[in-house]
């Protein structure tokens, strides 16, 4: 009897230790993408640092900074960052050089030279984020302890940025590489999962029980996720242009998801007002069944996209819509339609139309998502 407390304490301690180990393991697995990016960032910085010293570049910190900035979460993002930084640096160096040639900086003309270099670069930066670093390059050519003539200084700056960009892209391609198409599939899975959760809460509006305050953050989250998806699609296209993948153009998938989201918003507007009791008694259950089938099909489609599998069978959705049509016919046969106001009839048919749109867009999304993983390398 006296040994029981000690034994129980040891077992409890062992259990807690096991729980901590499992929690730590789950954290490592869940953040695997972040760990891989951290390794790539460290590799880029170290590689740039070593090369700068081997080449004897006096201001090689530009190469190190560029290598870190260019190392993004996937190869497509790294390609874009390298291109943007190189273009902005070339523009800044060119404007700084021209300003020095037109208005040599010594004396009172120094301010004029500075303004002449900054005017085109700041306008370019304000017009496009691609040129955000251009004013910095132009300013650095005109201020500080410059040890070289302007032409050589500009060439050195471009060389440092190009070196850093090459290192960043090289590391992205070789060190624990991540592809934008894979990130795109993960993001598509997440947004489809979120959209699948919207059907039934929106339908609560037909009984007057919808919580719009709780739904608004969900809508904002979905819009944010779609914006992220569009950014990943751009990075995936860049990988395709660079011949780094043979996957299909992601635009079709992203457009299909946007269109489905629009139809979900249409369903939200159509279910703002409760159904009349007589109509709800006949139509309520088929609408609930349709919402559940849409949810299940969209969840299965999200899993198929991320696993690169064929889309699920949409037969259940067709069955649900047929039941809605039959219920509308039952309403007409029972004479319920004649008792409704014009506004109530409009709401009723708006709900049926919204479900038909959802079915059409979901079937189209099946087709678009079917080739997301085709031909992957």
Pair (133, 226) in one structural domain: no
- Output the pLDDT for position 106: 56
Pair (342, 215) in one structural domain: yes
Q: CB neighbours of 280 closer than 8 A, spacing ≥ 6?
A: 206, 207, 274
Answer whether residue 2 is part of any domain.
no
Phi-psi sector, 243: left (phi>0), alpha (psi -120 to 50), beta:
left
- Output the pLDDT for position 222: 96
**Domain end residue (candidates: 174, 201, 236):** 174
Answer whether residue 14 is part of any domain.
no
Distance CA 92, CA 238 (A): 25
Pair (139, 224) in one structural domain: no
Long-range contacts of 218-227 (CB under 8 A, 24+ apart): 218/194, 219/265, 221/194, 222/191, 222/194, 222/195, 222/198, 222/261, 223/261, 225/187, 225/190, 225/191, 225/194, 226/191, 226/254, 226/257, 226/258, 226/261
Answer whether residue 277 is part of any domain.
yes
Q: CB neighbours of 208 closer than 8 A, spacing ≥ 6?
A: 274
Pair (129, 228) in one structural domain: no
Answer whether residue 8 is part of any domain.
no
**Domain end residue (candidates: 145, 174, 203):** 174
Strands (E), 199-273: none
Pick from 165, 219, 222, 216: nearest CA to 193: 222
Distance CA 60, CA 270 (A): 61
Q: Three-class SS of residue 57? A: coil
Pair (78, 130) in one structural domain: yes
- Output the pLDDT for position 265: 94
- Output the pLDDT for position 14: 65
Task: For residue range 347-370, list pLDDT tens digits in order.
Answer: 888 888 998 999 899 989 988 886
Pick from 267, 260, 234, 223: nearest CA to 369: 260
Pair (146, 197) in one structural domain: no
Distance CA 122, CA 92 (A): 10
- The total number of residues written for the chain in this structure: 377
**Angle at which helices 61-70 and 150-174 cross, to 10°:** 40
Answer whether residue 238 is part of any domain.
yes
Domain range for 207 is: 180-369
**Domain end residue (candidates: 156, 174, 192):** 174
Pair (168, 263) in one structural domain: no
Token look-up 């730590």 returns 24
Answer whether residue 19 is part of any domain.
no
Pair (36, 67) in one structural domain: yes
Pair (131, 268) in one structural domain: no
- Output the pLDDT for position 1: 45
Question: Taking a C-beta distance cutoff of 8 angstroms, is the pair 55, 67 a contact?
Answer: no
Pair (105, 218) in one structural domain: no
Answer whether residue 18 is part of any domain.
no
Pair (206, 313) in one structural domain: yes
The answer to whether the predicted template modeling score (pTM) of the entire model surpasses 0.85 is: no
Domain with 235 in it: what CATH number?
Answer: 1.20.58
Total of domains in the chain: 2
Strands (E), the chain: none
Answer whether residue 26 is part of any domain.
no
Q: How many Cβ atoms from other residues are within 10 Å of residue 116's Cβ?
A: 19
CB burial readout 251-260, b (16+ within 10 A) else e: ebbbebbebb
- Output the pLDDT for position 2: 47
Distance CA 249, CA 208 (A): 43
- Give the pLDDT of the chain (377 residues) as one tens digit per residue: 444 554 555 556 666 666 667 666 566 566 778 888 899 999 999 999 999 999 888 788 889 999 999 998 888 888 889 999 999 999 998 998 888 888 776 544 478 888 888 999 999 999 998 899 899 888 887 875 556 677 777 788 888 889 999 999 999 989 988 888 888 999 999 999 999 999 999 999 888 888 889 999 999 999 999 999 999 998 888 888 877 777 777 888 999 999 999 999 999 998 988 888 888 888 888 999 999 999 999 999 999 998 888 888 888 888 888 888 888 888 888 888 888 888 888 888 888 899 899 989 998 998 888 654 444 33
Pair (145, 201) in one structural domain: no
Question: Taking a C-beta distance cutoff of 8 angstroms, is the pair 308, 185 a contact?
Answer: yes
């Amino acid at each position: 009897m006296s040994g029981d407390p000690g034994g129980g304490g040891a077992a409890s301690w062992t259990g807690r230790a096991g729980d901590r180990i499992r929690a730590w393991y789950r954290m490592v697995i869940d953040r695997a993408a972040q760990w891989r990016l951290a390794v790539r960032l460290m590799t880029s910085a170290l590689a740039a640092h070593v090369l700068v010293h081997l080449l004897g570049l006096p201001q090689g910190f530009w190469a190190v900074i560029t290598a870190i900035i260019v190392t993004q979460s996937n190869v497509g993002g790294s390609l874009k960052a390298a291109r943007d930084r190189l273009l902005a640096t070339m523009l800044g160096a060119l404007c700084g050089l021209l300003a020095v040639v037109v208005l040599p900086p010594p004396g009172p003309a120094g301010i004029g030279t500075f303004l002449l270099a900054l005017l085109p670069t700041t306008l370019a930066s304000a017009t496009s984020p691609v040129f955000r670093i251009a004013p910095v390059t132009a300013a650095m050519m005109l201020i500080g302890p410059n040890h070289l003539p302007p032409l050589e200084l500009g060439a050195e700056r471009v060389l440092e940025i190009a070196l850093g960009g090459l290192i960043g892209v090289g590391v992205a391609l070789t060190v624990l590489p991540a592809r934008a198409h894979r990130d795109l599939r993960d993001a598509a899975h997440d947004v489809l999962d979120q959209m699948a959760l919207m059907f039934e809460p929106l339908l609560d509006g037909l009984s007057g029980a919808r919580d719009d305050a709780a739904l608004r953050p969900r809508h904002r989250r979905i819009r944010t996720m779609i914006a992220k998806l569009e950014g990943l699609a751009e990075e995936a296209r860049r990988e395709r242009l660079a011949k780094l993948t043979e996957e299909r153009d992601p635009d079709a998938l992203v457009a299909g998801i946007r269109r489905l989201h629009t139809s979900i918003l249409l369903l939200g507007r159509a279910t703002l007002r409760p159904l009349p009791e007589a109509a709800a008694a006949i139509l309520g259950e088929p609408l609930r069944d349709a919402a559940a089938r849409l949810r299940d099909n969209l969840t299965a489609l999200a899993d198929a996209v991320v696993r690169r599998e064929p889309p699920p069978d949409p037969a259940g959705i067709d069955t649900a819509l047929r039941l809605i049509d039959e219920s509308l016919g039952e309403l007409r046969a029972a004479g319920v339609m004649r008792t409704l106001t014009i506004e109530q009839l409009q709401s009723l048919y708006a709900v049926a139309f919204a479900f038909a749109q959802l079915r059409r867009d979901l079937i189209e999304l099946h087709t678009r998502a079917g080739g997301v993983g085709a031909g992957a390398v």
